[in-house]
Structure 1
């Protein structure tokens, strides 16, 4: 469409979307972000856009989407910003946000940019039953990530709308999947089997109840919950919701870029999380801290790790110059948990012993999470469970963002190092 009376060529919403390679809804998202300006057409039937402005945005998007040769992959995101001493969720201090609001409310903030007080998540009965049935079929030795992966796949099959990638549908899936994952996990101290995922007093059809942390607690430990300990668990969940493009989050975005449905995207994240260089960190920190408590001192434990050529778990983070702000916040909250005091003292001794020879190593969130899991009678793998459940909200937020981008934009070119063709037929 041409609109010379207003000083230049104008495009309809559909024309602008085709030029940008996005959905029409994404064009309006660009408007809301201030990247495009719109104007109602002369007869008021829709919006029009300046063609030069749209073309400039298309060129800029193509440049940003193409990673430079030999450079690191860069992905546009409006979710999390990490600085040398702190991190932010949508421009708000993440530690302060997690300290004031529960996990569900922080998740809503990350997903939508709004903060509804009293937000709670409910698992649909059909999804929850399918997930529990699938998890109950696993062998006794199945780990938490095994169970969560199976529960995610079962929940996906039970959701006939999983291929609807509209923001509203994806948000609905997110609000249902997280409580389904929690409800599908077996209760701590109970033998696995058909009824293992059903705690006493909980209705069969849904995972309704209070905070997600309250529903997760009996899946982590057989101990009765104390208010202060539950509060610390809720804080840990909120702090761990997102942390920019960790390896598992990048896998989620690649899956979403290929337009995999949100359950499949979460499955991709869980697959990467199970790698020993990502999800196992909490388990290692738990065992190290438990050993310090058992031996009564940190020095011999540190010596054993260094003699074996291993890093001391729970220390150091490549993105922070000092102590991980998530660890700082969780340590402070755990001060109010009487049962955590011995583990807190052991963690501080571990940091001080290592810092005496390796300056610059500070506590990270894995060590703080280990204080929580050790002091509350949770197994070593509990940290993985907390991390995976918490991060599912962040993965869903990244999937939502990626569905608004050009499909298959994360397609790097391989640097071929093999023999130059033509080669003789083998």
Structure 2
């Protein structure tokens, strides 16, 4: 039975409340210290655009579990599909005795992802696992080994994806040595590029790639069309297309990491569509399955079929429960018009943030697309990052019952990732609280 919560912020205790404090004490004694939490509250239910904690407080959710519950938490179609699948069977391993829902998800991905070429998919569990498999596929196809990622990139926490991730703390520090043959190129970062346009920024990156790697050695270029943990950086127009064209001309696999930006989050099904770019391989996860662990690599059939039989897979990859959730999530996005809803959310958020920026010069940049919007916070009158104020604003919002996240290489970016099911009223209330947090910090 789906839990339907009152879609309104309500605080009946301080944040955190007594029950959450009790559970946090248990966490400290039972859970590894390396597993941190953004907020010190424990959840007992969530739906639509709110989360209810164990003390009865109802919080406005502007984080969506880091862009996972895009269709809303416990979305009705997802709940029904998962319940039906659990009753039928929970697991067989697709590599042992396959089932239709895995095939149906792959068929849906072929239909939804950019390009009308012949496609194949393989399913996995997490974004990092899918990125790693995309690199395997590219290496098998090209018979080359080198991989290029970009400044400010985040691709995961496995050994290879840590090597591809740019930021040391907290993702990489102390965990090396990392995988070899990973190189880094400069990203287009319009706010900090001194006016460099997309094609010029691409030439800067390609010059580094030519000098440090060489196309003849390069298997793949891996890029987030809108960077996630790096600060919701939207590259200048023309940057992605120039990189993709160079890859095509040089036999390099162009991999779009759409783990955070995919599935209607940016007011298109995938962020690369904004630039008219058709990737060779596209990596998806997070919003794909309404909160269940699932990821995918989808791409050109000749590339996806390059690994030998048995070279791709995993015990839980494409678990039937997660596949059922994915099919229901896709149905929800399409039937409920959530791409249009993401566009409407963008209009609301940008209008409110630009009004706020008109009176606060510590807002250095506002950027993003759809329901993936960020504010970069700097010291007054400069472009110097201000991570301390960013943290203070987030903590003030948290205490007032609004879930917001931070990110960015410099720790100075507030990111807004509301579920697409959120109402305008709830969204405005969350932004009211955020404005008050700016004023108080």
Shared fold (TM-score, shorter chain, > 0.5): no
Larger radius of gyration: 1
Normalised to the residue count of structure 2, the TM-score between the two structures is: 0.21
Greater strand share, structure number: 2
Point out which structure has higher relative CO (alpha carbons under 8 A, 6+ apart): 2
Normalised to the residue count of structure 1, the TM-score between the two structures is: 0.22
Greater helix share, structure number: 1
